[in-house]
């Protein structure tokens, strides 16, 4: 990455904007890193004057009411929550690219697959009731893991599971190739991909085409006793369909790290269902200092009239 000269650039004014997340941690990271910026946190007075909006689930229409904004920057890899704003200004929208992010996702995926493959879900329930059972074990090579969304992160997850000898298959909208992994593409091949999956990992981006894709129709193509692992977006899941599929016994259970509404409401059944393991969107979290450094680099670029790094596409939604 070619860094630009700072000598002729103004001090960036950065506003931290979210309707769902306390971004104070990011302000602390900027301050600890010694980066020369002016920071405002929505809804503090003066935030609307910022040059750059750092956003996560920003209130719709708010960014359009910031007359000086030259770039909107996510705090993570996902951009769907920003592109969802129908009044989003016509400025670059950039993501954080973290070299460790995919490895963190792979770690979470391995834990989730092992939970079901080695029947730890069953053993945890048995332990709670002081029940001693020793079921037979299935070899990893006989356990099929499907990865729905076979982009860069999906490939890293797939390779990590293959290294443990799992039978891995991947699905994407367009054709992909990966040594040792069976790949499928397009709507026509989706049923064949789903058939035979013991565990299904969702790593799709959120678009109009993928919203609600984890629904009763998709679950029906999975074999009896399959497990769901959602590491994509909460909007991929039709929660009522998941609960019904588990309660009827068609699905074994689920690990969920993302939800339609975050934080997950206390009254949600997903917290208390005995066959659902809910975690608070922690599958992989970047170092806040790295996030601050990338935002600062892009802020100085746009203020110097240069193209920022890692911008997203409004057309694709990611």
Known catalytic residues? Answer: 233, 281
Question: Taking a C-beta distance cutoff of 8 angstroms, is the pair 9, 32 a contact?
Answer: no
Peptide bond into 263 cis (omega under 30): yes
> Cα–Cα distances in Å, from 193 out to 72, 77, 168, 225, 255?
37, 26, 11, 16, 20
Pick from 88, 70, 74, 90: nearest CA to 18: 74
Which residue in this structure is represented by tokens 């190739």? 177
Residues 6+ apart with CB under 8 A from 228: 199, 200, 202, 214, 219, 242, 251, 253, 254, 255, 256
Q: Provide the edge-to-edge strand list for the sheet that holds 144-148.
A: 182-185, 167-172, 144-148, 199-202, 226-230, 251-256, 276-278
């Amino acid at each position: 990455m070619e860094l630009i000269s700072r000598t002729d650039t103004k001090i960036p004014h950065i506003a931290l904007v979210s309707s769902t997340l306390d971004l104070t941690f990011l302000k602390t990271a900027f301050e600890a890193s010694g980066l020369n910026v002016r920071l405002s946190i929505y809804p503090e007075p003066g935030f609307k004057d910022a040059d750059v909006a750092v956003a996560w689930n920003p209130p719709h229409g708010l960014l359009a009411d910031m007359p000086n904004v030259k770039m909107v920057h996510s705090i993570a890899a996902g951009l769907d929550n920003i592109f969802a704003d129908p009044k989003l200004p016509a400025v670059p929208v950039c993501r954080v690219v973290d070299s460790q992010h995919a490895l963190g996702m792979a770690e979470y995926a391995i834990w989730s697959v092992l939970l079901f493959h080695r029947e730890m879900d069953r053993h945890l329930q048995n332990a709670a009731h002081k029940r001693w059972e020793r079921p037979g074990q299935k070899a990893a090579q006989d356990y099929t893991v499907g990865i729905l969304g076979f982009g860069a992160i999906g490939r890293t997850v797939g390779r990590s599971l293959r290294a443990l000898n799992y039978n891995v298959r991947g699905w994407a909208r367009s054709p992909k190739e990966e040594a040792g992994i069976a790949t499928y593409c397009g709507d026509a091949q989706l049923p064949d991909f789903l058939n035979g999956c013991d565990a299904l990992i969702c790593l799709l981006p959120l678009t109009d085409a993928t919203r609600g894709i984890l629904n009763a129709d998709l679950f029906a193509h999975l074999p009896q006793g399959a497990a769901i692992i959602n590491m994509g977006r909460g909007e991929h899941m039709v929660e009522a369909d998941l609960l019904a599929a588990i309660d009827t016994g068609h699905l074994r259970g689920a690990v969920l790290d993302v939800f339609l509404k975050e934080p997950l409401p206390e009254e949600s059944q997903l917290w208390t269902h005995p066959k659902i393991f809910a975690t608070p969107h922690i599958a992989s979290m970047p170092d806040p200092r790295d996030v601050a450094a990338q935002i600062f680099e892009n802020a100085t670029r746009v203020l110097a009239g240069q193209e920022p790094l890692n911008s997203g596409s409004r057309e694709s939604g990611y």
